[in-house]
Amino acid sequence: MGFDATAAEAVGLAAGVWAVVWLSFRFVWRKSAYPPGVSLQLFAISLGLWVSGSVFYAEREWLNHIGAVLVVCGTVFGWVLFDKLLCVAWYEKRRIVPLPIILRQLGGLLTLLVALACILKWGYGLEVTGLVATSGVAAVIIGFAMQDLLANVIAGFSIHATGAYKVGDWLLMGEDGKRGEVTEINWRSTRLVDNDQISYEVPNSEVVKKRIVNLNHPGAEHGVRLRFGLDYDTPPALAKEVLIMVAKNAQGVLENPAPVVFTHEFGDSAVIYELRFWMRHARLFNAACDEIRTALWYEMGRRGMRVPFPTRSLEKRHGNVPESFVSSRGRAAEILRGSGVLSCLSEDEAKGLVEKGRLQLFGPREALVTRNEPGESMFVILDGSVEIIGRTPEGPRVVMANLRAGDCFGEMSLVTGEPRNATVRAVGDVLVVEIRKGDISPLIVARPELAERLGELLEVRQKNRSESLNRAEEVASPKSGSSAGNRSLVNRIRLFFSQNG
């Protein structure tokens, strides 16, 4: 077999046309976020073959078939350009509303069917109406085979027409309460992604049969109900107070409307309470429920409330304090004496102060004290760390300091009776001892230097607080005389404890 120069020239011309078309469109679309891909390749290849065949093999019958392929590929490529330029790049940017993908796909399908009908009629001389009329049995068979597909398509149109949900909405599907965010609605199914970032598809025909709860309609804020079983020994008023308190500090829970608790049921071994609160967005559901349940456990441990157990089971209870805090609880008096303010106390005085004080355990992100709430006690950290959060006059929160084991806070309210001037929040698990006014008053009477040290500490804290807030406001901190401020604070301390001589 000899070398065929005509065939080589035809292949070269086809490759050249493909390269010109491909490179031209790639150059035009090089900065586009939606460049054409496979459709451009098919169009360039079919155009190259048709041009090459028209030049070198104009009399061959197979050239008509290549022309039909070129029309189909050109139709597909033209629709892709129309879809990416008008529907995606222009319409969605101008209207800021995404076109339903089912409408775009249906438009492309109808365009392709029209092109195929034109090829059959004018290219091959076949009447489409005749073919349809003479293939009734085949149409019935195909109809039965595609009934599920048609049901999904019709259900997809129903979803778009009624506006039951759209991309970005969170849905509560079926009786099991499966939560998921809608990421796509196509001609066959609805795609959702749950809080575990697991994607799953539900056929449209199944979606319209189920009970659908749209958590984003009429707004993203919606109510949530959780049920808790508490012991019969716990008074309902106390149970409601604790549940409302832990719900207010949870992530994503709105302050208004405020959380509400209902007594739902008297169970076999517990009183069932229903907590209703409002969430900012459905994607925070897992985080909010976890924080509420975690904070409830810590608060129940501090208040001596117990988790109910079935009366027919053997109860084996353990302390709710982690093992790492046991040693810190035993060294509480030593830690008190190691702090700068209480280092003047004797060992017996420190032990007596610990015995009179209240050991309390707080969990991550719990507020130990809240700004502007009344109080007449101070806290000494035995284990863990906390952050001091203040607020500038303009409103933003500022982390003014981080305190660790051996540090104390709340001394201003203890020695002056003023409300708390900052919020103190636990970074992790924190063990503290609360010292009240009545417990420390005899020590201030016996040891005047204790009032001096408290005054010095208050002066440093006030200065640091002012500097932190001023830095947040980008305003220079005013200068003040430290000795006069210290003497004023000492006099206020002695006056508050009736020791001003």
Tell whether 335 and 273 lie within a shared domain: no
Instruction: Report how far residue 174's alpha carbon sits from residue 90's, in angstroms, rounded to the nearest whole number.
Output: 37
Tell whether 201 and 271 lie within a shared domain: no
Q: What is the pLDDT of residue 476?
A: 37
Task: Note whether residue 315 is domain-resident.
Answer: no
Tell whether 480 and 336 lie within a shared domain: yes
Question: Which domain range does residue 21 map to?
Answer: 5-134
User: In this structure, how many other beta carbons lie within 10 angstroms of the beta carbon of residue 249?
Assistant: 15
pTM over 0.85: no
Tell whether 243 and 267 lie within a shared domain: yes
Instruction: Report how far residue 270's alpha carbon sits from residue 299's, in angstroms, rounded to the nearest whole number.
Output: 18
Last residue of a domain, which of 214, 248, 278? 214
Task: Note whether residue 150 is domain-resident.
Answer: no
Last residue of a domain, which of 182, 197, 214? 214
Q: What is the pLDDT of residue 240?
A: 93
Task: Note whether residue 308 is domain-resident.
Answer: no
Task: Note whether residue 312 is domain-resident.
Answer: no
Tell whether 407 and 479 lie within a shared domain: yes
Could you identify the residue written with the tokens 């559901």? 285
Task: Note whether residue 151 is domain-resident.
Answer: no
Cα-based torsion angle of the residue sequence 243, 244, 249, 251 in order, rounded to the nearest 10 degrees? 80
Tell whether 373 and 476 lie within a shared domain: yes
> Strands 397-404 and 385-391: what pairing?
antiparallel
Task: Note whether residue 158 is domain-resident.
Answer: no
Q: What is the pLDDT of residue 477?
A: 42
The answer to whether 204 and 149 are in contact (CB under 8 A) is: no
Q: What is the pLDDT of residue 189?
A: 78
CATH of the domain at 195: 2.30.30.60
Task: Note whether residue 254 is domain-resident.
Answer: yes
Query: Ramachandran region of residue 429, left (φ > 0), alpha (ψ -120 to 50) or beta?
Result: beta
Tell whether 282 and 358 lie within a shared domain: no
Tell whether 298 and 336 lie within a shared domain: no
Instruction: Report how far residue 136's alpha carbon sits from residue 144's, in angstroms, rounded to the nearest whole number.
Output: 12
The answer to whether 181 and 187 are in contact (CB under 8 A) is: no
CATH of the domain at 461: 2.60.120.10
Tell whether 109 and 244 lie within a shared domain: no
Phi then psi dihedrals of residue 306, to 5 deg: -115, 150
Last residue of a domain, which of 198, 214, 230? 214
Q: What is the pLDDT of residue 274?
A: 94
Q: How many domains does the chain have?
A: 4
Task: Note whether residue 139 is domain-resident.
Answer: no
Tell whether 46 and 191 lie within a shared domain: no
Task: Say whether 388 sits in a helix, a strand or coil.
Answer: strand
Tell whether 368 and 256 lie within a shared domain: no
Tell whether 271 and 382 lie within a shared domain: no
List the one residue out of 226, 227, 230, 228 whose CA is nearest residue 306. Answer: 230
Which pLDDT tens digits describe the chain residue by residue (501 residues)? 445 677 777 777 777 777 777 777 766 665 555 566 677 777 777 777 777 777 777 767 777 777 777 777 777 777 777 676 665 555 555 554 455 565 666 666 777 777 777 777 666 666 666 555 555 555 555 555 556 666 666 776 667 666 677 788 888 776 666 788 888 777 677 888 887 788 877 887 777 777 778 887 787 788 888 999 998 888 999 999 999 999 988 888 888 889 999 999 898 889 999 999 998 888 888 888 899 999 999 999 898 888 887 766 566 666 555 565 666 667 788 887 777 677 777 788 888 888 888 888 898 999 999 888 888 888 888 889 999 888 766 667 778 888 888 888 887 887 777 888 889 999 989 998 888 888 888 887 777 777 777 777 777 777 776 766 666 565 434 444 444 444 555 555 555 555 444
Instruction: Report how far residue 393's alpha carbon sits from residue 378's, in angstroms, rounded to the nearest whole number.
Output: 25
Q: What is the pLDDT of residue 262?
A: 94
